[in-house]
Chain A
Amino acid sequence: MNIIFVKVGDKYNHIHVNTLYKDLVKLYPNSQFWCYTEDPTNLNSQIKTIQPICTLKKWWNKLALFSDKMPFKGKCLFFDLDVHVKEKIDDYFENFDQLTVLNSYWKEKKFFRPHSYDVTINSSIITWTAGQQNHVWQHFRSNYDYFMRKYAGIDRFLVHEKIKLSTFKDGIVNSMKINDRKSPVDIYNGIYDVFTRKFI
């Protein structure tokens, strides 16, 4: 299996990547680790790096992982850099043939009008099979400037552009926004710096 991170820009640094790698390599010692980054300086040497294939900012770079220009093959597991993986999550993997993301249960009671484009999925963890989701990247590139104006992030793009998605079974993550459960993975959704242990 491929375990993949994205670090573009200066919000996260090599320490975030290396910390997550250290946690994950204990759980998945036979996996190949990759980092999509323009700056591989000080990354753990066991992590293979991928140079960005175009210029994008922040989370939009995650979509490039679906491009057929990516070097990895087979099963893929992506993590945002603001997550803390404490246990293996294999029990939650059902089907790598489908693009699978988190159900953002922490938003269930939130009100939003349709034209806010807010959604109840979250892409802090994604699974897919390399080469099978190229249409997602192609669709984004077909009018990317408009999509980046319209949607505040890739979760909204995925849902409102009708990309076929599955969601992981409940229980895989605990959102630190409400911190109401014990789960194999804590996700911070940009509110907390895992490395410095400070709220942003």
Chain B
Amino acid sequence: MVYTMYSRENLYKSAIKAIEKVYNESKWNKDVDFFRISDIINSINDNQLASKEWIVEKILPYLKKTDKIFIMGSWYGVLGHMLSQYTENDIIMYDVDPMSKEIGRYFCPTETHPNCHFRVGDAIEYYMIHEVGRNHNIVINTSVEHMEKEDIKLMSSFKDKDTLMVMQSNNYHEIDSHINTYQNLEHFEMSLNLRNVLISEKKKMSKYDRYFVVGK
């Protein structure tokens, strides 16, 4: 495996390639979705990258060589891109958006990121059917604010005691798709119902606070 340490520049280059493809295809295909351009740009905005860099920095010390990593709601695989610069462990990325895999391959090409695996479908369904909390050692969910409260509780209750849960959410209530935001970090931490909390931190973003909890 080629190890190039993570850099934002590489991510931006990948995003530009993905955007270029959307634009070029749109010349002849009326069904090309132009909003993807905006969505790809959003996926690498400063807040998105800062949140994910924060995770990489904090969980690397906990990462063992044999750990299998599962990322729920992985969007276009930006976190997988970052993590795979530092580990050869399998990273399974799950997202319901059918385009997450196709666009995600720009951020995690098979040749340079062979340990990144995209799956398309309902992440909670997959989590329950494949007992992800029992068969994976690290479960990451950076988009708790987009998921039902009940589903998050379900995840915590169906896991091995040693499975590391890495969760992020926020208090950015104004966004339509943020259906599960929290008033503060304590509120978020409590909702996860973890036995042993290892990290519980808050970061101030421009318009909201980002919450980050790691525990078992």
Contacts and interface: CB of A to CB of B under 8 A. Distances in A.
Contact of A145 (B35, B42, B149, B177): B177
Which secondary structure dominates chain A's binding surface?
helix
B96 A57 contact: no
Contact of A55 (B39, B97, B179): B179
Contacts of B180: 55
B182 to A, nearest CB: 14
Contacts of A117: 35
Given A55-B180, A60-B176, A149-B177, A143 B96 contact: yes
Contacts of A56: 179
Report the interface size class on chain B.
Answer: 10 to 19
Interface of A: 54-58, 60, 114-115, 117, 142-146, 148-150
Contacts of A149: 35, 39, 42, 177
B148 A150 contact: no
Nearest to B73: A145
Contacts, number: 36
B68 interface: no
Given A60-B176, A115-B34, A149-B39, A55 B148 contact: yes
Contact of B97 (A54, A60, A115, A146): A146
B176 A58 contact: yes
Interface in B1-55: 33-35, 39, 42
A53 B149 CA distance: 13
B25 to A, nearest CB: 15
Interface in B136-191: 146, 148-149, 176-180
B97 A143 contact: yes
A52 B146 CA distance: 17
Given A114-B34, A143-B96, 16 more contacts: A55-B179, A56-B179, A57-B176, A58-B176, A115-B35, A117-B35, A142-B96, A143-B97, A144-B177, A145-B73, A145-B146, A145-B177, A146-B39, A148-B177, A149-B35, A150-B33
Nearest to A153: B176
